[in-house]
Structure 1
């Protein structure tokens, strides 16, 4: 998958992750895209480690599910870090 494919996947999956986990986040579109892209990579790593399968093609359902799973994990970690920083 090319770099443009990763950016599109990151934008869509990052937005889906924010829809699944609603709340007030200090990030905008750039942070959403970055969370989606890094979350997709994290999801691919988790999928390969646990199930022996990684990210497939752009239109493969496995790619989107693993990317969404990784983005949700990363969004949860991001919220924990930003809340701790806001409290101190």
Structure 2
């Protein structure tokens, strides 16, 4: 039970860090709440993990092999940047067009 709570807490903290770094690296203004930034980072973590698996074929490494690694954090940040760029492309500017 405690390890599950710990994993969720680590996921949220890493998500927040990755989301804030992605928003700082990608130029432009984003009006996101802290919760949306954390969600951005968590989605980025999933994207980064998936891309890392595709590129490097991790061979079935799981939580037992250590899920809090430098490569995972960097992958989370890269994934969050990708997710932010996709979000901007999809959302666009919604307003009055002239």
TM-score for the superposition, normalised by structure 1: 0.85
Tell me how far apart the structure 1 counterparts of residues 91 and 31 of structure 2 sit (CA, whole Å). 8
Runs of 5+ unmatched residues, structure 2: 1-5
Q: TM-score when scaled to structure 2? A: 0.77
- Structure 1 unaligned blocks of 5 or more: none
Counterpart CA distance in 2 for 1:22 and 1:7 is 24
Moved beyond 4 Å, runs of 4+: none
Larger radius of gyration: 2
1:25 paired residue number: 30
Q: Show the counterpart of 2:67.
A: 57
In structure 2, C-alpha distance between the alignment counterparts of 1:34 and 1:65, rounded to whole Å: 17
Aligned CA-pair RMSD: 2.0
Is residue 50 of structure 2 the alignment partner of residue 48 of structure 1?
no
Distance in 2, matches of 1:38 and 1:73, equals 10
Counterpart of 2:12?
7
